[in-house]
Structure 1
Amino acid sequence: MLHAEGPLLTVDVSTQTSEQTAIDTILERFIGGRGVGTALAHERVPFDADPFGPENSLFFTTGPMQASTMSFTGRMNCTGISPQTDRLLSSNAGGFMSRNFAATGNAAVEITGQSDELLIVHVTDEGVEFEAVPELEDATVPEVTTYIDETHGLSSEHVACIGPAGERRVRFASIMTTESRAFGRGGLGAVLGSKNVKAITFDGDSAPDIEVPQIQMDVHRDAATSDHIMKRQGTTSVTDLANEVEALPTRYFSELSFEGVEGINGDAVEDRKYTRGTCSACAFACKLPTKDDERGVETEGPEYETVMSFGSNCAVDDIVDVMQSNELCDRYGMDTITCGNVVAAYLASEDEFGNVELIHDLVADIAHRDGVGDRLAEGIERFHEEFEVENWTVKGLDFAAHDGRTLHGQGLSYAVANRGADHMFSTMYAWEYPLVDADDALEPTGLEGKPAVVIEQENARALEDCGIVCRFSRSFMTPDRFEGLFDAEYESLLEIGSRVVTLERHFNSQRGFDRDDDSLPYELPAFEDALDEYYDRRGWARDGTVTTSHATEMLADD
C-alpha cells in the first residue's frame, strides 16, 4: 500500500534540541497525514495534557500524494489538542507548503515543549536551527513572511506562522501558510503561540522517492479540463442554494435565510475575482483572489463559510465588507468561521447587526485581546452566558454554514464529529442539498438510514486526510482511482479512515468526554435513536466512548 515515507523529527523548543525517530510501522498502518498525526499523539501526548502546556505537541504531517504532481494534493495536516474544544483535533491547510515540507525528508515534524524566548524554527534536510526573534512580537502574518523572505530568502510558501492572535492565545487562532491559507479550525495557532514559536520554515532537497501510479495523470487531466462552477466562484457557488433551501445561518443563527444574499453570493465574489488562484500542483484552481480598487481591499476569498459568518450571520450584505473581514483575519491569524460567529454573537447581544465599522474594530480587538475582545477571544462556549446569547457550538466549536436544522444528516454529523460542529468531518451536506448526482442524493429531512452514511463519509474524509487529498476532489477521486493510486482495496482504505476516527474518539474519551457531548442546541427527529445506531455501527459503547482495548486494536500491527 502506498504511504508516506521518512522519520518523525521531534523539535523540543524548551531545550532547543531535535531528534529523528523511525515511524515506519505507523506510516504503513495509517498512510500519512491525519492518521499518522493521530497515532503519534496517542503515543507521545499525555491524555490529560493542557492544550497550552509544554506537554501538548503539534504534529505536522504530509502524505504520499505530496510526492505526486496530481491536482488536489497541495495540502497538509496539523494535529494537536485544541484549546477551543479541549480535544484532540486535526486541521488541514492548502497552499504551497506541503512539498517544501516533504523536501526536508521528514514524514512528520513534532513541535513540543515551551520556549523562554520568541522563536523561529528552521527545519531543513540538514537539521534544525533556532532563531530568537523578539523584534517580531505582535507582528502580523505579512510582516512575519516579509521578514523571513528578506533575511533568509524563503518565500511564504516555506512558512507556517502565527499573528498577534496566536501569541495572545486567542482560542481560535490559526497557523497561517502562504500568507492566506490556514490551519484554521480549533485554535492550533494558539498552541504554537503557547510554545512561543512565531514561525516554522521548511526547506530542503530530500523529498522521499515515492512512486505514484500514472493514474494520477488521469485525475490531473480531468481536473484541468472540467468546467466546474467552483473554478469561477469557489465554495461561494453554493450560497444561493443554501439560502433557497433555508440552510444559510443568519443573524447569529436566529434565521435560516438572508434577504441580502445577492450582495454576498457567488456572483458578487466572481465580480471581484481578478485572477486564478490555486494550490500546489492543482489544475482545478478554485481559489478566489479578489480585490476592490475603489475601497482598496485585496484578499484571497472569502469562501462560503466566511460569507456566512461575516456576511449573513452578521447581517452584512456587501461582499467588500466581508472581504475586508476576511483579510483582517488572515493578517492577524484567526479562523474566519469562528471569528465571524463570535462577532455575530456580540452583535446579537448589543442589537448591532450590520454595523460594519464595529465588526472590523472587533476583529482587531479580539486578535489583540483589547477591551471586550479579551472575552470574545475565549470563544462562544466560554462567554455566551455572560453576554446572554445562545451557545451555538458543539464540543466548543461553533457551527459551520450548512444548517443542520434543515439538513438533518449534517446536523447528526455536527453532533457526533470528533472536531465538533465542523462541516468537513463528513461533508453530509453535499448529499442533502444535494451537490452529488441525483441517484446518490438523500432527502434533507429525517435521520432514518443516515447514521450508516455519516459513518461511511467520515471514514472517506479521514482517508482523504491521510492521503492527503483535497475535499474538492469528490467528483474525480472515485473508489477505483483510490484503489489504483494506493494499491489497496477501497474497503480496506475506508477501514483505515475508521481507525483514525475511532482513535480520535478514544483520545477524547480519555479526557472525559462522552455521549453528553454529542448534542445539539436544537432538536432533530429520532436523534437519540440515531446516536444509538451510530455508536453500534462504530462498535463504540452506547455512552459514546471508546475503550482502551478497542483503541489498542486500532494501533496494533495486522
Structure 2
Amino acid sequence: MLHSTGPLLSIDVGERTTVETDITEVQERYIGGRGVATRLAHERVPFDADPLGPENRAVFTTGPMQASQMSFTGRTNCTALSPLTDGLLSSNAGGFVSRHLAATGYGAIELAGASDDLVIVHVRDDGVEFEAVPDLAGATVSETTGYLEDERDISSDRTAVIGPAGENEVRFASIMTTEERAFGRGGLGAVLGAKNVKAVTFGGDSAPGLEISATANEIHREAATEDHIMKEQGTVAVMDLANEMDGLPSYYFSERSFAGVEGINGAAVAEKKYKKGTCSACAFACKLPTRDEARGVETEGPEFEVAMAFGSNSGVDDIVDVMESNRLCDEYGLDAISAGNTIAAYLAAEDEFGNRELIWDLVDKIAQRDGVGDTLAEGIGRIHEDLGVGNWSVKNMDFAAHEGRLLHGQALSYAVANRGADHMYATFYSVEYPLVEEAEAMEPAGFEGKADRLVERENLMALNDSGVVCKFSRDFMTPERYELLFDADFEELLAAGARTVTLERHFNNRRGIDGDDDRLPYEDELPGLDDAIDSYYELRGWNDDGTVPESALPA
C-alpha cells in the first residue's frame, strides 16, 4: 500500500527541543494525513488533556499524494484535541503549503508544550528555528504573512498562521495558510494560540520520491478539461437547489428557505469572481477570488457554508456584505462558518437579522474577546442558554448548511460524526440532493440503507483525508483508480479509513463523549433516526451506547 514516509518530528515549543521518531509502522497501517495523525494523537495526547493546555499536541501531516503533481492533492491535515468539541478532531486546508511540508522530509510534524514568549517556528529539512516575535502580538493574518515575506523572504504559501482569534483562544479560531485558506472547523487556531505559536513555516528540498500510476495524469487531464459549475461558482453553486428543496437554513435555522437567495447565490458570487483560483498542482481550479471595486472589498469566496452562515442564516441578502464578513474572518483567523452561525444566534436573540454593521462589529469583538464577543467566542453549544436561543450544534460543533431536516442521511451523519455537525465528515449530502450519478443517489427522506452507506462514506472520507485527496475529486476518483494510485485493494484502503474513525471515537469515549452526544435538536421530526443510529453502531462493531469495546480497537 502506498503511504507517506519520513519520521515524526516532535517539537516542544516550551523546552525548544526536537526529537525524531520512526513511524513507518503507523504509516503502513494508516497511509498518511488524518489517519497517521489520529494514530499518533491517540498514543501521545493524554485522554484527560486540556485542549488549551501544554499537553495537547497539534500534528501537521500530508499524505503520499503530496509527493505527486496530481490534481486534487493540494491539501494538508492538522489534528489536535479540539477546544470547541472537546474531542479529537482533524481539519484540512487547501492552498499551497502541502508541498512545502512534504519538502521538509518529515512524515509528521508535531507541536507540543507551550512557549513563554510568542514565537514563530521555522521547520526546514536542515533544522528547526524558534523566532521570538513579540511585536506580532495581536497581528492579523496578513500582517503576519507580510512580516514573513518582508523580513524572512518566506511566502504565505509556506506558512500556517494564526490571527488575534487564535491568540485570544477563541474556541473556533482557525489556522490560516496562503492567507485565505483555513484549517477551519474545531478551533485548532486556539491550540496554537495556547502554545504561544504565532506561525509555523515549512520548507526544504527533501520531498520523497514517488513513482505513481499513469492514472494520475488521466485525472489531471480530466480535471483541466471538465466543464464543471464549481469552476465558476464553487460550492455555492448548490445554494439555489437547496433553497428550492426547502433546505437552506435561514434566520438562525428557524426557516428553511430565503427570499433573498438571488443576492447571495452562485450567480452572485460568479459575478464578483475576477480570476481563477486553485490549490497546489490542481487543474480543477474551483476556488473563488472575488472583488467588488465599488466598495473596495476583496477576498476568496464565500463558499456555500459561509454564504449560508453570514447570508441566509443572518438575514443578509447582499453578496458583498457576505464577502466582507468572509474577509474579516480570514484576517482575524476565525472559522467563518462557526463565526457566522454564532453571530446569527446573537442576531436572533436581539432581533437584529440583516444588520451588517453589527455583524462586522461582532466579528471584531469575537476575535478580540471584547465585551459580548467574549461570550460569543465560546460557541453556540456553550452559550445558547445565555442568549435564550436553541442549541443548533452537535458535540458543540454548529451546523453546516446542508439541511438535515431535508436530507435525512446527512442528519444521521451530523448525529454520529466524531467531529459533530460538520458536512465534510461523510459528505452524505452529495448522494441526497443528489450531486452524484443516478446509480449512486438515494432519496433524501428516510433512513433505509443509510446506516450502511454512511459507514462506507465515512471510511472513504477518512481515506481521502489520509491520502491526502480533495473530497471534490468525487467525479474523478473511482474504486479502480484508488487501487491503481495506492497500490492496494479498495476494501483494504477503506479498512484504513475505518480504523481512523474508530480511533477517533475511542479517544472521545475516554473523554466522556458517547451515544448521549449523538443527538440532534430536531430529532423528533425524524422518525427512524434512533434505529438508524443503532444500526450504525452495530455496523461499526461498537457498543449500543456508542462506545468502542476494547476488542474493536485497531492495532
Tell me which interval the TM-score lies in, with the shorter structure as reference length: over 0.9
Matched, 1:160 2:160: yes
Shift of 1:212: 1.9
Matched, 1:396 2:396: yes
Q: 2:533 aligns with which of 517, 531, 537?
A: 531
Q: Secondary structure at the match of 1:431?
A: helix
Matched, 1:409 2:403: no
Code of the residue aligned with 1:389 in structure 2: it is V
For residues 383 and 517 of structure 1, the distance between their equivalents in structure 2, rounded to whole angstroms, comes to: 17
Match of 2:549 in 1: 547
Shift of 1:74: 0.3
For residues 252 and 226 of structure 2, the distance between their equivalents in structure 1, rounded to whole angstroms, comes to: 36
For residues 547 and 52 of structure 1, the distance between their equivalents in structure 2, rounded to whole angstroms, comes to: 28
For the 8 Å contact 1:248–1:308, the answer to whether it is kept is yes
Matched, 1:260 2:254: no
For residues 365 and 442 of structure 2, the distance between their equivalents in structure 1, rounded to whole angstroms, comes to: 43
For residues 360 and 408 of structure 1, the distance between their equivalents in structure 2, rounded to whole angstroms, comes to: 34
Q: Secondary structure at the match of 1:360?
A: helix
Q: Secondary structure at the match of 1:145?
A: helix
For residues 214 and 140 of structure 1, the distance between their equivalents in structure 2, rounded to whole angstroms, comes to: 43
For the 8 Å contact 1:278–1:285, the answer to whether it is kept is yes
1:100-119 matched pairs, under 5 angstroms: 100-119=100-119
Q: Secondary structure at the match of 1:256?
A: coil
Code of the residue aligned with 2:537 in structure 1: it is Y
For residues 403 and 514 of structure 1, the distance between their equivalents in structure 2, rounded to whole angstroms, comes to: 24
Match of 2:151 in 1: 151
Shift of 1:547: 2.2
For residues 254 and 19 of structure 2, the distance between their equivalents in structure 1, rounded to whole angstroms, comes to: 51
Code of the residue aligned with 2:479 in structure 1: it is P
Shift of 1:548: 3.0
Matched, 1:69 2:81: no
Q: Secondary structure at the match of 1:169?
A: coil
For residues 110 and 437 of structure 2, the distance between their equivalents in structure 1, rounded to whole angstroms, comes to: 41
Code of the residue aligned with 1:532 in structure 2: it is D
For residues 270 and 513 of structure 1, the distance between their equivalents in structure 2, rounded to whole angstroms, comes to: 42
Matched, 1:83 2:83: yes
Matched, 1:296 2:310: no
Matched, 1:443 2:443: yes
Code of the residue aligned with 2:247 in structure 1: it is A
Match of 1:56 in 2: 56
1:277-292 matched pairs, under 5 angstroms: 277-292=277-292
Shift of 1:437: 1.2
Matched, 1:384 2:384: yes
Number of aligned pairs?
A: 553
Matched, 1:195 2:195: yes
For residues 211 and 75 of structure 1, the distance between their equivalents in structure 2, rounded to whole angstroms, comes to: 20
For residues 39 and 550 of structure 2, the distance between their equivalents in structure 1, rounded to whole angstroms, comes to: 14
Match of 1:432 in 2: 432
Q: In percent, how many aligned pairs have the same letter?
A: 67
Q: Alignment RMSD, CA only? A: 0.6
For the 8 Å contact 1:67–1:212, the answer to whether it is kept is no
Shift of 1:525: 1.4
For residues 392 and 382 of structure 1, the distance between their equivalents in structure 2, rounded to whole angstroms, comes to: 11
Shift of 1:383: 0.7
Q: Secondary structure at the match of 1:143?
A: helix
Match of 1:366 in 2: 366
Match of 2:229 in 1: 229
Shift of 1:482: 0.3
Shift of 1:209: 1.3
Match of 1:314 in 2: 314
Shift of 1:91: 0.2
Match of 1:31 in 2: 31
Show CA shifts across 1:393-421 (max 9, x none): 00000000001001000000000000000
- For structure 2, the 5+ residue unaligned runs are none
- For structure 1, the 5+ residue unaligned runs are none
**Bigger mean CA offset, 542-551 vs 495-504:** 542-551
For residues 546 and 460 of structure 2, the distance between their equivalents in structure 1, rounded to whole angstroms, comes to: 21
Shift of 1:455: 0.6
1:421-500 matched pairs, under 5 angstroms: 421-500=421-500
For residues 282 and 449 of structure 1, the distance between their equivalents in structure 2, rounded to whole angstroms, comes to: 35
Show CA shifts across 1:69-121 (max 9, x none): 10000001000000000000000100000000000000100000010000000
Code of the residue aligned with 1:166 in structure 2: it is G
**Bigger mean CA offset, 437-446 vs 410-419:** 437-446
Q: TM-score, normalised by structure 2?
A: 0.99
For the 8 Å contact 1:287–1:300, the answer to whether it is kept is yes
Q: Secondary structure at the match of 2:18?
A: strand
